[in-house]
Chain A
């Protein structure tokens, strides 16, 4: 046990924890973006609400979700521990600005990470917490005519708002009643300040991962002439461009739709 502790208390051990939790969070982003693309379906949130319901009620996903929350906390905690140690390693700072060439993002991971942590706290309290632990989320009823496959939606006010989802079939019409997270998303994204905050946070994601993704591979020791260019390409194009743009598009599109109404 002491050898185990010694390994993870070493400088490289702490970096290993940062790299592994960071990469795990990266994989989550892909899944999160993929699922949330349902927001772009023009179905009044039918697909998105069912997806939100599935995520919160499928046990394997719940296990992974708690691993995810743990990873966020461990990643932030170790970043803090490492930063304090790094500051202590240079008690007297230079008078001149360090002109050593290094990318802006690599020098500002702590700032970017702090923005992201603030974002995650606000994001989770507004959606995840509100969805799971409050009665702030209203319900919606989707009626699908099984003959024509047309879906219509109406607001639904249950007598006791303590169920998550109900499915019933009456007169060849499938009635799905589910918590309407979509309405909360649309409502939040009609607030300009909220949209700006989300877009700034996605810039932070972009620059954090522009350095972080490839840096994690370096820390793990997985650097090779053959595949390092691929790691850089994925880190740049997928994690620093496509994913942040995909996420930022959601508040922007919903805001534009809200002013069009």
Chain B
């Protein structure tokens, strides 16, 4: 398996043509940046969709100028129709979950930095890697294409519950071609992520340089490794699920449609399928997906924090074991999405216990972070602020999980805004904070220029306060019984909640708008930022010891590095100050050695 000397099997010469250098590149760094670019485009679309939804939820009859340009049928007179709201909602969620929260923290940063942190010159299967991106990109195009088919994208939500999703156009607008394109897009996406996961796992296991034992990998690399193991199994279940769904549409099968359904007074020509089968397949993927979105963030945030705490975590290994436990347990808890689905009520209890138990590794991770802050010398910068913000968001989103883990309390909160608040904080906002922390931290290495710190801090403050202003009230709405996925609140008891929705809308518009600061900072710094040194944060891991910044095509020049230390030798008196790089052969008596 691993001979601790690095492999040269992946060697591919530096391309000279524009196409091979920037478009169909085999270089993991370029592929990482491509993934980041895709995520950036996707998040902008997703955010604009959320604005449109929020405006509609606050002021249902408000005519949004120009909306009819997006869809003449969906917004006659610029006022959103009920079905168009659901279509935008479905696209918002699908784009965000798949093409932002999975691609940015995992595929983008992981591609760029996993091989470098492991001390490899590239991934073992560069062609697979290139395919992984372009397949994912194709999946994105297929999804966006559904905006342009006759009755628009699907309205079935990102969960696409059958039989609504499997019946075809009779189910409603977007339930024909919209669903087929959705399922095709996701199936393609799964292929891309499977290829990526294979590469990540092999890079971690087989491509490490001399001296780089598994325990010497930084926590970010561990995050990506654990995530890729999850990706390999989770996407492998969703993909056949999507294929079966497509077959129900185009091949006359009835995997997810039972007999005797009547729509528009017409008995449907299906029989023998199971609606719960889709839910099982979907959530067997769906719950690990939550961790696929957040575990890379945990790794990135730990990595960023350590550098800014100037000390390693209380325990490197406990963090790794906890992240691994989250990964394993994430497969045993998926039934908590189905407590009131008609699944056997005994199963609800069986799924409830592991769901409650998963709070233990999560708590360990948080306590290790908190314990590591103790006695540190925290450097405050945009990256560390977002990393600390991540901890706060993860806690806030995590504690609401207690309610949803129990079937009895879930009766009151299932399908309400409480759930929406919970997953937005713990997986949406927290993961976004991980992406921001990673961006501010690694941008200098990726582009050779520093990002503007002042703008970064303004961006943090506005986003931090804004995100809480948006998502905390979601929990209150849920407690009051406000059902999610409603385009208007016509039930008598929901009408008093509309002012709170309007407050949320204003907060969402503000928080979305301040992202322009980030975008400006990103683009401006790319071209006009202050030149970065090779190691601007005085960090220890391998990405900071590349011969040039950005790293050369083969990452480390002619010879692969040799590693002599654990990844986080901070708080020691080395020749370079309070830290010793992994590549430095000097002896270290670390005050933080693990037993």
* Co-assembled chains A and B: no
Interface residues of B, Cβ cutoff 8 Å to A? none
Could you list which residues of chain A lie within 8 angstroms of chain B, going by C-beta atoms? none
